[in-house]
Amino acid sequence: MSTKTGTSTQSAPTTIVRVVIAKDTMTAMMAISKPPPGASEATMDDVKKAIERVGLVHGIDQEAIERALVKREWDTPVRIAEGTRPVKGKDATFEYTFEKERDNTPKEDDNGHIDYRSLSFIQNVKEGQVLIKKTPPTEGDDGTNVKGNPVKAAKGRDLPIQSGKNTKVSEDGLSLIATASGSIVLTRDGISVNDVTAIRGDIDMRVGNIDCAGSVTVDGQIKTGFHVNVGGNLDVRGSVEDCYIDCQGNIIIKGGCFGKGEGRIKAQGDIVLKFAEGQVIESESSVTVGGQLLNCHVTAKERIDVCGRKGFIIGGAIHAGKEIRASVAGSDTGTTTNLYVAYDAELMSEYEHITQEITRVQADIERVKKTLYSLYRLQTDGKLDDSKAAILKKLEEFQASVPEALKSLEETKASLEERMKEFDDAQIIIKDTIFPGVVVHFGPVYREFTDIQKSCKLTLEGNRVMVSAWNGDDSD
C-alpha cells in the first residue's frame, strides 16, 4: 500500500500543509512549509482540509497540531495521529497442583549441619487427582487504524497439555488427571504417574539388580557392582558404593557416594547427594552436593553446586554447562583439580563434525569444478568417450544436489551456534578459597592457578579467564 498524502494550499504565494499516513495506517505525520514572502501562515482550517483529504479520522492529537502551528517549526514532521493498536490475546497458562520445581537444595543450620532426611523428589498422587488446570487463551482486543478501520488482534497461543503414562486429558481439554496412584515424574514428553517400589533394606545379593518402570525408594544402601534402572525418581536413604544407576527422573542419595570409580550414576533429571568420593556422576540437568566432591568425574548440562560450608571440590574433573559453585576448589597440597564450564561435550562434538563436513563438501565442490572443466573441454573438442561421459553426468548430478546439502549443513551449524550462545554467561563461583593446582576451563580457554585466590567469581572475557571479587550474593 502506498503512503497517502493530503495537501492544503492558500492563494499564491502558497503555504503548504502536508499530512502523510504511514503504510501500516497506524500513524500520521504533518509538516508545514515555511511561508514564502507575502504569504500568510497556515491555519487550523488548512490543517483540517489536509486531514480530510487523506481520510484521517481516528487518534488525532489536537494538541500536537496546535503546538506545530504555534511553534512555527517549518518543514519539520510532527506526529499528529496514532491508531489504537490491537492487544494480542493472552497465551494459555497452566496451574500445577503439585510442586513442579521442588527445591531440594540442602540447607545448613547455624552449626553447618544439613538435614538430608527432609529431602525427596517423590511426590505421591492418587487416582483421579487433578494434576494440571489449564486456562485457555483469550481472543485479544481489536484496534483501530487512523482511517477508522478495525485492526484484528492476534489470538493468544494455545498450548496443549502433554499427558504421559497413567494420566489423561479431560474431555474439555482443561485438566490433566491421574488415572492411577503413584509418584509424579516430569519428563520432556509430559507428566507421568509411576508406581513406587520400596526396597526395605539394602540392594545387595539378597535383592539383586533392580529394573523398574516406576519410582524407587531404597531404605538402605546400594552395594558395589549392582545395577539399578529406574523409569521414575530414585530416593536412596543410605549410601551408594560402586554401582550402576540409570534413572529417567531425579536422584537423591542421602548417605553420599564412595568408591573407586568403577560404577556410574546417571540421571535425566537432577541429582542431589550428601558427598561423593571416586565416583562418575552424570546429569542431564543439575547436580547439588552438600559436602565434598573428592576425585570425582561429574558432568551436568546445567549447574553443579557444592553448596555447604564443607563444599570442597578436590581432584577429579567437574563439567557444567552454565555454572559451578563451591566453597573451596583444590587443596593446600596442590591437588590437580579441573573445573569446566561453557562446554557440552556432545554439542561440541556435533559442532566439530558439522564444521568438518562443511569443509569437506566445499573441497569436493572445488575438485568437481576442476574435473568438470576438463571434461567440458574434452566434450568441446569431441574427445569425450562413453566412460568419461558417464562420469560427466554423475558429476553434474552431484553439482546440482550440493547447494541443498550445503545449505542444510550450514543451517545445522547455525542452530548449534545458537545453542552454544547459552554458555555466554557461564561462570565459576568459589566462595572461600581457590588453591594452586586448580585449572579452570571456559570452553577451549583455560587458566591454571599458581597462587591462592579468595572469594572470587571467574568469567570469560574475550579469550581470557577473568577473576573478580565475589560479593557474597548467591543470586550472581
Q: Which three cell numbers stand for residue 24?
A: 501500516
Which triple of cell numbers denotes residue 458?
571467574
On whether the CB atoms of residues 413 and 355 are closer than 8 A, the answer is yes
- C-alpha to C-alpha distance for 281 and 232, rounded to whole angstroms: 18
Reported as a single tens digit per residue, the pLDDT across 230-287 is 988 899 999 999 999 999 989 999 988 988 888 999 999 999 999 999 999 999 999 9
Q: Which helix (H) or strand (E) holds 388?
A: helix 386-420
CA distance 380 to 384: 8
Cα distance between residue 222 and residue 202, in whole Å: 6
- Whether the CB-CB separation of 345 and 320 falls below 8 Å is answered with no
Rg (CA), the chain: 34
Counting every residue, how long is the chain?
476
Look at residues 245, 253, 256 and name the one whose alpha carbon lies nearest to residue 209. 245
DSSP SS3 for 30: strand
70's enclosing H/E stretch is helix 62-71
Between CA 76 and CA 20 the distance in angstroms is: 13
Res 85: pLDDT: 93
**Residue ranges for the chain with pLDDT beneath 70:** 1-14, 102-122, 188, 473-476
Q: Rounded to two decimals, what is the model's pTM?
A: 0.58
Give pLDDT, residue 54.
92
Q: CA-CA distance, 35 to 103, in Å (whole number)?
A: 72
